[in-house]
Amino acid sequence: MEPAPIRQSADLEEMLRQALELERESLAAAEDLLEIVKDHAPLRVIIEHHVQSEQEHIWELEKMLKEVSVTVSVKEIKLKTAS
């Protein structure tokens, strides 16, 4: 096993893209691990939380890179009060 190359950049967009790539690799590894630990409930729960965290990181990075756009089709949302 060889260590991964260290990539550096002074460009913010490139740094975010590198971080996004690493997060996606980490998510894929965690999803593979889920398959391995599927019959071990405590480990599965820990890995599921890790997968959720990685996915949230990916969404945040995608937002920063404007790869994901959020559109609202309703101009006003009325909430009902709890009774």
The C-alpha angle with vertex 50 and arms to 49 and 54, in degrees rounded to 5, equals 120
Domain count, the chain: 1
Examine residue 71 and state whether it is found in any structural domain, yes or no.
Answer: no
Q: Which domain holds residue 58?
A: 12-64
User: Which residue intervals of 1-83 are DSSP H helices?
Assistant: 12-36, 41-64
Domain assignment present for 2? no
Q: What is the pLDDT along the chain (83 residues), one digit of tens a residue?
A: 788 788 888 888 888 899 999 999 999 999 999 999 989 999 999 999 999 999 999 999 999 888 555 566 666 767 777 76
